[in-house]
Amino acid sequence: MTLPRSLQGRLLVLVTTGIAIVWAVAGALTWHDSRQEIDRLLDSHLAQAASLLVMQQAQAEDNDEALDAPILHPYAPKVAFQVFHEGHLGTHSANAPAEPMMPAEAPRVAGFRTVRIGGEAWRVFAAPGVQHDVEVYVGERLDARTAILLAVMRSAFWPMAGALPVLAIAIWWAVRTGTAPLRDLERMLARRDPRALDPVRMHRTPREMAPMLDALNRLFDRIRGVLDAERRFTADAAHELRTPIAAIKAQAQVAICEDDAALRRHALSAVLEGCDRSAHLVDQLLLLSRLEAGATLDTNAPVDLSAVAKQVLAAIAPIAIRKSQQLELDAPQPCVVMGNAALLASLIRNLADNALRYSPAQARIAVSVRHRLDHIVLSVQDSGPGLPDAHMKRLGERFFRAPGGEHSGSGLGWSIVRRVANAHGASLDVRRSDELGGLKVEVDWADPPRT
């Protein structure tokens, strides 16, 4: 059976079908029970009639003359009796056959048999008389019992059959009334402004609809978060790219107008540096946007943090060499954490890049990846000027730049570091380095996988 697409139609079809099936099963059971009761009742009447005939025959004088009993009831033609005396048919009903209704081979004891007489099925009760040579048979056509059963069932079930359409209408009204809140919600959502992301509120929300409304409101919250992240990304990109693009344009104009080859080369070099900074800024913005938007990122792969740190520091080592800085890595053994290799590389790159950027020439930047008890700790510290406590508290704010350094960054690195650490379940600690005197950052994985 194909159900309607309408929820109201589904409920109506299912409930009505269920009631009809129950009604049919109840009718079949009633038919069966009623037939048994009617059979028992009519069998008792046959036995009682036979006993009366036996008693009558015992009290009567011997009379071999056959007598026909009068027909006094419409059902009488469907009932027959015979009284045999010494093998001869005596008193009998007009519709009784001349031969005994019970087969001759049947034992001469009181009991019921179902036999066929003249092509019709009969229910016959045989009873021996008081005298040994008397036999009494009382029978009834089975179709008479069926007619009685049909009359009883018709009287019982016609009202129920007539009530079924009324019941279907009542069910339709009940279902339509019960699903009215769904139609109210439909109209409310249809009238709702597409830009509206505030929670949906209904007057006296049914208990069954409350989880759906809660899920819908949570979806609106997530959509609002995604839209806010996109708006922030657009605003941030426009704000942050405006300055480097303006600087690139200015240097390009200088290069066009400058006749001196050395000055033109210097201007073009500044253009390339501006392009590199813009590309780095775009990469940072895109990564931060993915993290804030809750993009699905696989952070369940085993990653050797020591190997990732070696690759990242090898890539940024030329920057340290140009600034005459000492970049060190202490990673004596593999340190495996569960995470995303690309995100962890971005975390290490941003921490090391900040240390290089805000440390002066000849500074020392030490990076270590070690086991500490049952933890794995990534540490980045430098011998730079460090940060006052007030600035440390602001690390991680979007576009906050700590003072100092020859080159200003995008202000997004710390936001990325904090979000990557959170995505990997790692804790982040920032303080002054007791060993080098500058800033010290530790990323702690408290429950690394067993190796």
pLDDT at 377: 92
CB 427 within 8 A of CB 421: yes
pLDDT at 284: 62
Q: What are phi and psi for residue 362, nearest 5 degrees?
A: 70, 5
pLDDT at 395: 62
Cβ burial 357-383 (10 Å sphere, 16+ → b, else e): bbbbeebbbbbbbbeeeebbbbbbbbb
**Statement: residue 368 has pLDDT above 90:** yes
CATH hierarchy code of domain 297-445: 3.30.565.10
Write out the two tokens for 180. Answer: 């009215």
Query: Which amino acid is residue 17, in one-letter code?
Result: T
Residue 186, exposed/middle/buried by CB under 10 A (0-12, 13-18, 19+)? Answer: exposed
pLDDT at 364: 92
pLDDT at 449: 58
Residue 384, exposed/middle/buried by CB under 10 A (0-12, 13-18, 19+)? Answer: buried
Categorize the per-residue pLDDT at 256 as very low, low, confident or very high, splitting at 50, 70 and 90. confident
Question: pLDDT tens, 86-139?
Answer: 777 777 777 777 788 877 665 556 678 888 887 888 888 888 776 677 788 888
**Statement: residue 378 has pLDDT above 90:** yes
Say how far apart CA 294 and CA 170 lie, in whole Å.
50
Categorize the per-residue pLDDT at 287 as very low, low, confident or very high, splitting at 50, 70 and 90. low
Helix-strand-coil percent breakdown of the chain, rounded to 5? Answer: 55, 20, 30
Categorize the per-residue pLDDT at 307 as very low, low, confident or very high, splitting at 50, 70 and 90. very high
Say how far apart CA 92 and CA 443 lie, in whole Å.
113
Residue bearing the bigger pLDDT, 343 or 61: 343
Query: For the ranges 74-78, 232-236, 285-289, 324-328, which has the lowest average pLDDT?
Result: 74-78
Residue bearing the bigger pLDDT, 91 or 364: 364
Question: pLDDT tens, 187-233?
Answer: 888 888 877 888 888 777 777 778 888 888 888 888 887 777 677 66
pLDDT at 89: 78
* Mean pLDDT calculated for residue range 413-418: 77
Residue bearing the bigger pLDDT, 363 or 127: 363
pLDDT at 204: 74
Write out the two tokens for 272. Answer: 């390339």
Residue bearing the bigger pLDDT, 29 or 347: 347
pLDDT at 405: 43
Residue 426, exposed/middle/buried by CB under 10 A (0-12, 13-18, 19+)? Answer: buried
Say how far apart CA 77 and CA 95 lie, in whole Å.
6
Query: Which amino acid is residue 258, in one-letter code?
Result: E
The helix/strand count (H/E) of the chain reads as 9, 13
- Cα 124 → chain centroid: 64
Categorize the per-residue pLDDT at 304 as very low, low, confident or very high, splitting at 50, 70 and 90. very high
CB 328 within 8 A of CB 295: no
| Residue range 210-290 in CATH 2.40.37.10 | no
CB 312 within 8 A of CB 355: no
Say how far apart CA 243 and CA 408 lie, in whole Å.
12
Q: What are phi and psi for residue 443, nearest 5 degrees?
A: -110, 120
Give me the residue spans of the domains in the chain: 7-165, 210-290, 297-445
pLDDT at 407: 47
pLDDT at 75: 47
Q: What are phi and psi for residue 338, nearest 5 degrees?
A: -90, 125
Most confident of 1-15, 28-42, 437-451: 437-451
Query: Which amino acid is residue 135, in one-letter code?
Result: E
Write out the two tokens for 133. Answer: 């040579």
Question: pLDDT tens, 228-237?
Answer: 767 766 666 6
Residue bearing the bigger pLDDT, 317 or 67: 317
CB 274 within 8 A of CB 244: yes
Closest CA to 376 of 421, 345, 337: 337
pLDDT at 140: 82
pTM surpassing 0.75? no
**Statement: residue 36 has pLDDT above 60:** yes
**Statement: residue 446 has pLDDT above 90:** no
**DSSP 8-class letter at 200:** P
Closest CA to 424 of 442, 440, 444, 394: 444
**DSSP 8-class letter at 114:** E
Categorize the per-residue pLDDT at 369 as very low, low, confident or very high, splitting at 50, 70 and 90. very high
Spell out where 158-278 has E strands: none
pLDDT at 236: 60
Specify the DSSP element, H or E, that contains 445.
strand 439-445
Residue bearing the bigger pLDDT, 170 or 295: 170
Question: pLDDT tens, 37-78?
Answer: 777 666 666 665 666 666 565 555 454 444 444 444 454 456
Write out the two tokens for 412. Answer: 């997004």
* Mean pLDDT calculated for residue range 148-153: 77
Question: pLDDT tens, 269-282?
Answer: 878 877 876 776 67
* Mean pLDDT calculated for residue range 372-395: 76
> Which residues fall within 8 angstroms of residue 122, CB to CB, at 6 or more apart?
80, 101, 114, 115, 116, 139, 140, 141, 142
pLDDT at 400: 47
End-to-end CA distance of the chain, in Å?
Answer: 58
